[in-house]
Every structure is written in structure tokens, then in C-alpha cells.
Amino acid sequence: MALLGDRESRLLVDGKLVAGAGGTFATLNPATEETLGVAADATADDMDAAIGAARRAFDDTGWSTDTELRVRCIRQLQQAMRDHADELRELTIAEVGAPRMLTAAAQLEGPVEDLSFCADTAESYAWTTDLGIAAPMGIKTHRTVAREAVGVVGAITPWNFPHQINLAKLGPALAAGNTVVLKPAPDTPWAAAVLGELVVEHTDFPPGVVNIVTSDDHAVGALLSKDPRVDMVSFTGSTTTGRAVMSDGAATLKKVFLELGGKSAFLVLDDADLAGACSMAAFTASMHAGQGCAITTRLVVPRERYDEAVEAAAATMGGLAPGDPTKSSTICGPVISARQRDRIEGFLRSAADEGGRFACGGGRPADRDTGFFIEPTVIAGLDNGATVAREEIFGPVLTVIAHDGDADAVRIANDSPYGLSGTVFSGDDERAAAVAARLRVGTVNVNGGVWYSADMPFGGYKQSGIGREMGLAGFEEYLEIKAIATAAQ
Ligand code: NAD
């Protein structure tokens, strides 16, 4: 089977691939600006049908208690994705603008393999805990704690790592026994819609368990946060939208799980290999054109070596010209849309207006007149109060900030409304660990360690989110806890 053979995708509602009542909308290649094809454009009625189907599948079938079926279906979906890896790879490069090399990691193969963790966890999980007999208030009672699926989950996702984020929600939510309505970003509808095709053609998922609703209209996704039939919303996206989801969910007191924005710091202590650390920070900030929520975009370096640090970062970033994502050597591809490119350019103007200087980059590359490209850019001469140091840019932009010692570096890192991630580099592991322990963030890289893996929880402190994705903590987000007290003789 060729995925999206007719270059038009469908919704998955109640086990069937169907057209959207709103017609279709185009999906673009951000590297060429060409239209790839169209996706089904769902309306409120389509969303209503999807939520109804998910509700019935949860309430009226044995899905939530049939662990063997759930594990089998997840493994079937994983195998179908492996079997279609070549088509999925080309689709991801074309629609997301993801550099080819990243499809061997977090843009495709990583999250597909991570589904094993979800299936394995469901198989080995202790769904009940026996607390034994006690006599609270003098009444002899046998106590059991059971963990059960939350119910219908609305999953709302962004465009930057669509497979990673779609699967990091579908995998644990389904493994835990929930039914799901997935609403992906309008910029990357196909990355989600292909899952619908694979579910229908290659798995035993019962109708209504997985629903995929693509739409050009954000308001269709917002219905998930408002509908009383939805028990939980699992959202990844900007902090602004996260606030709207939380506030919409308040009317029905939904469980709301939020993975939001970041403005993470890369701290270089005065005993570190400065050039090596700055080069690594520059490389990281350029990857996938900086469109990663946990990318460290503030490089915080010893004041006395500030110029040297800027030079090292610019030497690396200046050498990473944005390029064709189909090439296996490309690190920095396009940003997702003209809107996103314009937004980044606005931040670059603010940096210049506030007295910053570009040590490399600073705008669109001169040699590309099509595609949404931005040059990897190092900004120097600003402090942590500058707009580019406060706000999430979501482009290949690194701001270099001076610190006056370890305590000051920690103060700067924590002086942010966000708390998603951080990095510490030092020649002394203990010193680095002590600084890492003081960071108010959900993930931290110490001297080059990697926190991203299926069994590690990922998420943010402060305005970077509520809850954790992946790992056991990510699985348990999708569970309720029931305390059962049975009168004993
Ligand atoms: P976005 O917030 O604009 O959109 C995310 C999703 O929310 C899309 O599917 C969109 O259609 C939907 N949406 C928009 N308005 C809505 C509303 N009122 N109610 C319900 N849904 C609504 O984000 P984006 O531009 O697609 O993605 C970039 C953002 O995502 C960045 O801020 C980035 O940091 C964040 N992000 C966070 C993580 C994380 O795990 N913390 C991971 C990736 C991306």
C-alpha cells in the first residue's frame, strides 16, 4: 500500500476513514513552498462524531480492561510504521521540513521504537495493589488500590516533532486503556493522518478507540477541552495555547496535561572546555532550525571569556548554512511556515533595536529565495532582560549572556517564566551536578548526557507545563486511582 496514494488524507472516526465536512485544506512543503496535497478539514460536527465514538468505545466495550488486546494493537501499529518507514520518512521530510538525519532519531524511528516501552509497561504494570486488612474506624476492611484508565483523552499536538509527540500521547494513553481523539497541528496533518490509514489497514484497534481529526481551524481542537464527554486533555504546544486549554477545561474540571514552551539555558562554568561547550550549544540550537521546545537557546558563559565564547558559537553556527532537508548532511532545514519565519524575523529586529549584535546570521539566507529559511544566528551584547532572552523564538537563534560565577549562572538560568530544560558544562562533574541540582527545570543535561529516551520522564516546571510525558510517569498520567474498601470478616 502507498500511504496517501491520492495525496489526500482522511479523518479516522469510529473505525472508518472519512472525508471532512469542511472539505480539504492544503499541506505545504516548507523547504519549497509547494503544495504537497490536501488533508481532510474537519468541522465541529466531525469532532462531535469522533468524541462520541471514543466515548462509546470506552464505555461500551472491553477495551479499557483487555490488556492483551491493547498490547497487540500497539505492537501492530509499531510494526506497520516500521514496514512503511521509507514512505513515512519522505513524508516527514517533505511536510515537516525535518532534516533527513533526524528521521533516524526523534523525528521518526525513535518514537516508533518507543512504542515498545508503552506495550511492555502495560504488560508488566501492577494494576492493583493489595494493602491488606486493617480496621479504620473500627471496621475490619480489605483495602485494594486499583489503577484504571482516565477515559476519553483529547490529544492536541504541534508541528515540530509530529510523530514524536503524536506517539508519545497515543502510546501511553492507549496502553493505559483510554480511547483517544487526536487533533494534530494544521501545519502537519499528514503526519497524523497516515496513522489513521495504518490503524485501519494493519491493526485490530476496535472502532472508536483511535480517532484522528485534522482541521485547519484551531477552534475544532478547542472543542476537546470543552466537551464534557472528554475526561482528559493531553496538550503539547505554546504556553499561550496551553493557558486557553486549561481555562476551557475548567468548566468541566478536566484533567489537563500540558507540555509547553521553553527558554532553556546552557551554562558553561569557568573550568569547562569553553570552545567545545559553545560549539555544542551552537550546534544544538541550529538543529531542525531551532524548532524544539527543549533546545537551550540562552548560552550563559563566564563574563571574562565572553568574546571568546561568542566567537566559538559563531564559528560553529556560521558554518551551518540552512539547507535542503532531503540531504543527509543537512542539520538546519526550513522553519515550518512563512508565519513562523516572519515571527522569528520580528525577534531578530527586536534584538537589534535593543542593542544586540549578530555575530553570525541575522535573517534570511541570501542564496535561497524559496522556502522558509532563517540563517543560524548568534546574538551578542544583550543581558537576560532582552526580549530574545525572555521569549521562546522557535528558530535557530542563540543569545549569549555573561555570568559572574556559578551562583549568578543559576540565577540567570532560573530567571525565566519557563522551566523546561537546561545544560551544565564544567570540568568537574561534582560541581556541574551541584549547579544542575539548583536548576528549576524538568530535564537537565550534565556534561553532555542525553535525557531523551522512552523510559525517562519529560516535561517542565513553571510555565513550561504540568505533568510528564514518556517514562513510567508519562504512562501514569493517563490513569485514575481507585481505592476499594471491602468489608472483611
Ligand atoms: P500552538 O500552541 O500554536 O498549537 C499547538 C496545537 O494547539 C495545534 O494543534 C493547534 O491547532 C492547537 N490549538 C491552537 N489553539 C487552540 C485552542 N484554543 N484550543 C485547543 N487547541 C488549540 O503551538 P505550535 O505553534 O503548533 O507549536 C510550537 C509550540 O509548541 C512551541 O511553543 C513549543 O515550545 C511547543 N512545544 C512544546 C513541547 C513540550 O513538550 N514542552 C514540545 C513541542 C513543542
Q: Residue whose CA is closest, atom 15 of ligand 1?
A: 218
Q: Residues enclosing ligand 1, CB less than 6 A?
A: 156-160, 165, 183-186, 218, 221-222, 225, 236-238, 241, 244-245, 259-262, 293, 392, 394, 420, 460, 465
Kindly state the greatest CA–CA separation across the chain: 82
For residue 277, how far is its CA from the centre of ligand 1 (angstroms)? 30
For residue 385, how far is its CA from the centre of ligand 1 (angstroms)? 25
Cα–Cα distance for residue pair 436/434, rounded to 1 Å: 5
The angle subtended at Cα 413 by Cα 405 and Cα 322, nearest 5°, is: 110
For residue 227, how far is its CA from the centre of ligand 1 (angstroms)? 19
The closest-lying atom of ligand 1 relative to the alpha carbon of residue 336 is 25
Cα–Cα distance for residue pair 418/439, rounded to 1 Å: 11
Q: Environment class of residue 354 by beta-carbon count within 10 Å: exposed (0-12), middle (13-18) or buried (19+)? A: middle
DSSP state of 305: G
The closest-lying atom of ligand 1 relative to the alpha carbon of residue 224 is 20
Contact at 8 Å (CB) between 49 and 71? no
For residue 299, how far is its CA from the centre of ligand 1 (angstroms)? 25
Domain 8-261+464-486, second-level architecture: 3-Layer(aba) Sandwich (3.40)
Residues 6+ apart with CB under 8 A from 323: 329, 330, 332, 333
Cα–Cα distance for residue pair 209/391, rounded to 1 Å: 38
Identify the three-state secondary structure at position 273. coil
For residue 300, how far is its CA from the centre of ligand 1 (angstroms)? 27
Q: Environment class of residue 315 by beta-carbon count within 10 Å: exposed (0-12), middle (13-18) or buried (19+)? A: middle
pLDDT at position 443: 98
Angle between helical axes of 162-175 and 109-124 (0-180°, round to 10): 10
Q: Among 95, 156, 340, 394, which is best to mutate for testing ligand 1, by the most ligand atoms less than 8 A from CB?
A: 156
Cα–Cα distance for residue pair 188/224, rounded to 1 Å: 19
Residues 6+ apart with CB under 8 A from 363: 345, 348, 374, 375, 377
SS (H, E, C) 164-219: HHHHHHHHHHHHCCCEEEEECCCCCHHHHHHHHHHHHHHCCCCCCCEEECCCCCHH
pLDDT at position 5: 75
For residue 158, how far is its CA from the centre of ligand 1 (angstroms)? 5
Which H or E run includes 462?
strand 461-462
Which H or E run includes 352?
helix 338-353
For residue 449, how far is its CA from the centre of ligand 1 (angstroms)? 27
Q: Which residue has the cell 566559538?
A: 312
Angle between helical axes of 218-226 and 239-250 (0-180°, round to 10): 40
The closest-lying atom of ligand 1 relative to the alpha carbon of residue 241 is 2
For residue 270, how far is its CA from the centre of ligand 1 (angstroms)? 37
The closest-lying atom of ligand 1 relative to the alpha carbon of residue 239 is 32
Q: Residue whose CA is closest, atom 43 of ligand 1?
A: 293
Q: Residue whose CA is closest, atom 12 of ligand 1?
A: 218
Q: Residue whose CA is closest, atom 32 of ligand 1?
A: 238
Identify the three-state secondary structure at position 471. helix
pLDDT at position 1: 45
Residues 6+ apart with CB under 8 A from 322: 289, 332, 333, 334, 365, 368, 373, 374, 375, 376, 396
pLDDT at position 86: 97
Where does the chain hold its CATH 3.40.309.10 domain(s)? 265-446
Q: Which member of 109, 259, 392, 469 is catalytic?
A: 259
Q: Among 107, 257, 293, which is best to mutate for testing ligand 1, by the most ligand atoms less than 8 A from CB?
A: 293
Q: Among 41, 159, 238, which is best to mutate for testing ligand 1, by the most ligand atoms less than 8 A from CB?
A: 238
Q: Residue whose CA is closest, atom 42 of ligand 1?
A: 293
Fold of 265-446: Aldehyde Dehydrogenase; Chain A, domain 2 (3.40.309)
The closest-lying atom of ligand 1 relative to the alpha carbon of residue 245 is 19
pLDDT at position 3: 84
Where does the chain hold its CATH 3.40.605.10 domain(s)? 8-261+464-486
**Catalytic status, residue 259:** yes
Contact at 8 Å (CB) between 375 and 279? no
pLDDT at position 305: 98
Residues 6+ apart with CB under 8 A from 330: 99, 100, 101, 323, 324
The pLDDT profile of the chain, 489 residues, written as one tens digit per residue, is 478 877 899 999 999 999 999 999 999 999 999 999 999 999 999 999 999 999 999 999 999 999 999 999 999 999 999 999 999 999 999 999 999 999 999 999 999 999 999 999 999 999 999 999 999 999 999 999 999 999 999 999 999 999 999 999 999 999 999 999 999 999 999 999 999 999 999 999 999 999 999 999 999 999 999 999 999 999 999 999 999 999 999 999 999 999 999 999 999 999 999 999 999 999 999 999 999 999 999 999 999 999 999 999 999 999 999 999 999 999 999 999 999 999 999 999 999 999 999 999 999 999 999 999 999 999 999 999 999 999 999 999 999 999 999 999 999 999 999 999 999 999 999 999 999 999 999 999 999 999 999 999 999 999 999 999 999 999 999 999 999 999 999
C-alpha cell at 26: 492544503
Which H or E run includes 442?
none
